[in-house]
Amino acid sequence: MTLALGCVADDYTGASDLANTLTKAGLRTVQTIGVPADDLALPEVDAVVVSLKSRSIPADEAVARSREAAAWLNARGAGHLLFKVCSTFDSTDEGNIGPVTDALREDAGEAIALVTPAFPETARTVYLGHLFVGMVPLAESPLKDHPLNPMRDSNLVRVLARQSRAGVGLIDLATVAQGAEAVGARLDALAREGKGAAIADAVLDRDLAVLGAAALTRKVSTGASGLGLGLARALVAAGRVAPAATAADLGGPIGGPAACLAGSCSQATLGQIARAEAAMPVRRLDPARLLAGEDEAGAALTWAMERIGDGPVLIASSAGPDEVAAVQARYGRDAAGHAVEAAMARIAEGLVAHGVRRLVVAGGETSGAVVDRLRLPAFRVGPEIAAGVPVLRTTDRDMWLALKSGNFGGPDFFADALRLMP
């Protein structure tokens, strides 16, 4: 297998978002969970997205795991390496986007890497280095209250510079409008000034096509699904992959009980849970009781088993910013997050042990905890449920999954997802 594109994603939902974008753009793509074992059988593909759970771990660990993933992809001939980060640039001043980008770029012998989280399809745009989420700058969006990495600075040149060893420059929209050669020349000029990364503006998909073509002339870039789209289009245009004629056959219906788990506290997910109340029974975990040592997971599982024969159920830990802040103040941010993730993983394990083969999970860290506990090695990518969220089919057993980034999906996401998981 010689890969046209190798991708290292810093969380599992972000990885399936990217796999979805690449598949839609015509690349045959597989998403793996962690660095695959050497004996993992994978179909012939153009791109592999290795999913890590490295967004919110110490930077040195994120670097080590990303390097390991990059080495696996390079050993399979990856022509270009994309480090997939969140379209809202989720990270703290301690890392991990800067340190991982520095490390992958240096390992590849490159002086500078192009970086952009722009993903216009989901209303993430970058102008003069400032990230906008919908109509507002990042620091005024709900991401300012993220439970793990509150984003309080919209200027990504500044944000990335605080995380990076080498300096960070800007490729502005006026340069992008001049085309891929102008972007390449700007990257060269910034590299001569000693910069190791350049935040690139992008507002429309056509800007991403330019950035993809420019990025492809180097070995490493960093971005969200939008840059993936640009790279995929550039690969197809350059004849380096033949666009897949038909979507991969993912196999027939699986049936049986279905369940949804939500650990994301994003505004989008909170709205989707409220809407789901009309369509299925919803159980809300009480994080305070859970952290106090009560068996919330066991109780939720018993509750689910009593209902799951009649239709899908939803179990959610999600809460609004004030409730999350109160729990975090009492137990600490990381301890609270990990305890809730562990409870979700245990519930998922119990559901699967009782026959659930159709599972929807909301939230990147939550999805990571669940998928790790279920020991799922890799997924093939199916139809799109909503922008950035595909249906996934496990490669080693018959199971449907949907791993939703917290902010993604329409108001009826949970019902929409289950409809595509027969």
Ligand X SMILES: Nc1ncnc2c1ncn2[C@@H]1O[C@H](COP(=O)(O)OP(=O)(O)OP(=O)(O)O)[C@@H](O)[C@H]1O
Ligand Y SMILES: O=C(O)[C@@H](O)C(=O)CO
| Residues at the contact surface with ligand Y, assessed by CB under 6 A | 11, 13-14, 17, 86-88, 224-225, 364, 388, 405
- Closer residue to ligand Y (CB): 110 or 121: 121
Q: Which does 217 bind (CB under 5 to 8 A by kind): ligand Y, ligand X, none?
A: none
- Closer residue to ligand X (CB): 210 or 391: 391
Q: Which does 224 bind (CB under 5 to 8 A by kind): ligand X, ligand Y, none?
A: ligand Y
**CA pair distance 219, 104, nearest whole angstrom:** 9
In the complex, least distance from residue 149 CB atom to ligand X, rounded to whole angstroms = 8
**Residue nearest to ligand X according to CB distances in the complex:** 406
* 228-248 as b/e: b if 16+ CB within 10 A: bbbbbbbbbeeeebeeeeeeb
- Closer residue to ligand Y (CB): 53 or 218: 53
Judged by CB under 6 A, the residue of 6, 364, 382, 390 near ligand X is: 364
Q: Which does 382 bind (CB under 5 to 8 A by kind): ligand X, ligand Y, none?
A: none
List helix spans (H) across 332-391.
333-353, 364-374
Per the structure block, which two tokens stand in for 93?
């001043």
The most distant pair of C-alpha atoms in the chain lies apart, rounded to whole Å, by 65
Q: How many CB atoms lie within 10 A of CB 135?
A: 8
DSSP assignment, residue 251?
-
- Closer residue to ligand Y (CB): 54 or 405: 405
**CA pair distance 295, 290, nearest whole angstrom:** 6
**CA pair distance 195, 281, nearest whole angstrom:** 53
Do 200 and 61 contact (CB within 8 A), yes or no? no
Provide the sign of the torsion angle of the four alpha carbons 358, 294, 145, 320, taken in this order. positive
In the complex, least distance from residue 162 CB atom to ligand Y, rounded to whole angstroms = 20
DSSP-assigned letters across all residues of 248-259: ----S---S-EE
- Closer residue to ligand X (CB): 76 or 333: 333
In the complex, least distance from residue 2 CB atom to ligand Y, rounded to whole angstroms = 26
Nearest of 244, 276, 246 to residue 262 by alpha carbon: 276
Judged by CB under 6 A, the residue of 34, 257, 263, 350 near ligand X is: 263
For ligand X, what does the binding mask look like between residues 272 and 291, x meaning CB under 6 A?
A: ---------------x----
Which residues are registered as beta bridge partners of 394? 379
11 binds ligand X (CB under 6 A): yes
Judged by CB under 6 A, the residue of 95, 142, 257, 337 near ligand X is: 337
**CA pair distance 205, 124, nearest whole angstrom:** 11
Judged by CB under 6 A, the residue of 319, 352, 385, 415 near ligand X is: 319
Q: Which does 163 bind (CB under 5 to 8 A by kind): ligand X, ligand Y, none?
A: none
Which residues are registered as beta bridge partners of 384? 390
- Closer residue to ligand Y (CB): 13 or 269: 13
Judged by CB under 6 A, the residue of 209, 241, 327, 376 near ligand X is: 327
**CA pair distance 84, 14, nearest whole angstrom:** 7
- Closer residue to ligand X (CB): 126 or 340: 340
- Closer residue to ligand Y (CB): 95 or 364: 364
Per the structure block, which two tokens stand in for 6?
């190798």
Q: Which residues bind ligand X (CB under 6 A)?
A: 11, 13, 146-148, 263-266, 287, 317-319, 323-324, 327-328, 336-337, 340-341, 363-366, 405-407
